[in-house]
């Protein structure tokens, strides 16, 4: 264990929902729920105003609607959240070369490795400056925990929520952990928690009192040893800067089971294209194509095919996914489909690019004219997604409040405007177009000065 609280844990506050509130002035201070809006959707993030009603992450969306019927329900904007996350991670990497992202909105930082902190006072200054910088650059708030280990830094950031900073000083860990629930410790989920509760163990102090041998008997050797060490506040895990990406995948859950085999095939092709875009965005390629199918009865099947070498060619991935689909019976209906790529590498083998074209190699170029011309495709009605950005030729930038019955309702406002007016249009209105999200904060040179307190007067507390 370190002698100074130089491991930092950052957790952005209700990240998706806060980003939506910052983007949409009319939603500030109101209950906002982000997630899948269909009957099988789940909550991704709920604003603090929505949490008052009992709404929380991973809750079925139907239950959330019953608890908070007047909340704003929005579909996630993944690319928008990723762009904000990149800004935040950039601020973290300016503090230290050892940054361990856990998700888009959460990361550990080893402040000592970057020379940003070496004792209690310098760690507090670094944490306060980071919070101010995040607010200045993104307009959002994050909670910061500082401690001598990763486990305690994460516990501290949880105590700091929302929009605060908590420092756990070395030497105080055991007294702090003792009365806490066993669920506070990493790796103690509902199942492990039930095992411990049935054994009469409810707090961290009671784990330490039970002893290592009893924990090994209850939970097994590896889990028992690890849990006993954490109960004694022993956590030597280092901050790991790079986590190897093992797979890239995308999947969709459908509100209504898909029975049409042609539709299933088209969905698999679309997912394959999305997967390849994500693969290329990460600068990767892969050898093994994986298809995931969850059927009407919740049974889940996976099929895979390994290629001769790595590829990032969409045609190759589409064809492999289609071959895998041929081996799956979907006659009863499909509720989820996914396409993934594993066996990743940072290069491709050029000879694989030809695989997508092999079907047409037998036909000479002179035969092209013999192929009947395809009939013009019927126009597809545009789909307007709740919460997503649009622009109108007359009214400017806005976002979709809802759509149906051939109409779409839009509120016209921007992150730096007053709450905007609402107008309704036909879904095929030629003046209405999808748009890219606007930045939450107008770009400006520099961020908060060293040691400057949070611009919003956020709390700085010591544990």
- Catalytic residue positions, numbered: 106
Residues 385, 75 contacting (CB under 8 angstroms): yes
* Helices 15-23/78-95 angle, 10° precision: 110
Q: Are 130 and 89 in contact (CB under 8 A)?
A: no
Instruction: State the DSSP H helix or E strand holding residue 379, giving kind and residue range, or none if neither.
Output: none
Please choose, from the candidates 25, 2, 1, the residue with its C-alpha nearest in 3D space to the C-alpha of residue 417: 25
Tell me which long-range contacts 182-190 makes (C-beta under 8 A, separation of at least 24): 182/206, 182/207, 184/155, 185/151, 185/227, 185/230, 185/231, 186/151, 186/154, 186/230, 187/223, 187/226, 187/227, 187/230, 188/227
* Short-list 307, 313, 322, CA closest to 353: 313
Contact (Cβ atoms closer than 8 angstroms) between residue 382 and residue 430: no
DSSP H helix total and E strand total for the chain: 13, 18
How many angstroms separate the CA atoms of 258 and 336, rounded? 9
User: What are the two backbone dihedrals, phi and then psi, of residue 205, each rounded to the nearest 5 degrees?
Assistant: -55, -40
């Amino acid at each position: 264990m370190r002698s100074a609280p130089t491991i930092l844990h950052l957790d952005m506050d209700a990240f998706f929902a806060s980003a939506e509130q910052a983007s949409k002035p009319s939603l500030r201070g109101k209950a906002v729920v982000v997630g899948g809006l269909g009957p099988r959707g789940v909550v991704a993030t709920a604003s603090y105003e929505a949490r008052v009603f009992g709404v929380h992450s991973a809750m079925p969306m139907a239950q959330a609607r019953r608890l908070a019927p007047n909340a704003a329900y929005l579909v996630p904007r993944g690319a928008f959240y990723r762009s904000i996350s990149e800004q935040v991670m950039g601020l973290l990497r300016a503090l230290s070369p050892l940054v361990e992202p856990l998700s888009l909105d959460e990361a550990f930082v080893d402040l000592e490795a970057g020379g940003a902190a070496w004792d209690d006072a310098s760690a507090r200054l670094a944490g306060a400056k980071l919070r101010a910088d995040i607010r200045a650059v993104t307009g959002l708030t994050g909670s910061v925990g500082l401690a001598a280990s990763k486990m305690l830094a994460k516990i501290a950031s949880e105590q700091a929520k929302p929009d605060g900073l908590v420092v756990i000083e070395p030497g105080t860990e055991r007294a702090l952990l003792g009365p806490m629930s066993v669920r506070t410790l990493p790796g103690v989920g509902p199942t492990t928690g039930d095992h411990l509760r049935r054994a009469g163990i409810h707090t961290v102090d009671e784990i330490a009192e039970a002893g290592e041998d009893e924990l090994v008997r209850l939970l097994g050797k590896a889990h028992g040893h690890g849990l006993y060490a954490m109960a004694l506040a022993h956590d030597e895990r280092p901050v790991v800067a790079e986590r190897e990406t093992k797979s890239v995948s995308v999947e969709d859950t459908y509100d209504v089971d898909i029975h049409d085999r042609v539709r299933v095939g088209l969905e698999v092709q679309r997912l394959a294209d999305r997967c390849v875009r994500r693969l290329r965005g990460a600068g990767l390629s892969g050898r093994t194509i994986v298809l995931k199918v969850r059927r009407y009865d919740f049974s889940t099947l996976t099929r895979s095919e390994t290629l001769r070498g790595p590829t990032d060619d969409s045609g190759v991935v589409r064809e492999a996914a289609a071959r895998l689909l041929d081996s799956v019976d979907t006659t009863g209906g499909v509720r989820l489909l996914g396409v993934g790529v594993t066996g990743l590498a940072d290069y491709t083998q050029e000879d694989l690019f030809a695989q997508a074209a092999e079907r047409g190699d037998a036909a000479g170029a002179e035969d092209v004219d013999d192929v009947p011309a395809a009939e013009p495709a019927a126009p597809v009605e545009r789909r307007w997604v709740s919460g997503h950005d649009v622009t109108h030729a007359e009214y400017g930038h806005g976002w979709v409040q809802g759509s149906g019955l051939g109409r779409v309702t839009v509120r016209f406002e921007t992150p730096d405007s007053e709450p905007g007016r609402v107008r309704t249009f036909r879904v095929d209105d030629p003046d209405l177009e999808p748009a890219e999200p606007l930045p939450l904060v107008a770009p400006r040179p520099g961020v908060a000065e060293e040691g400057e307190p949070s611009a919003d007067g956020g709390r700085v507390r010591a544990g």
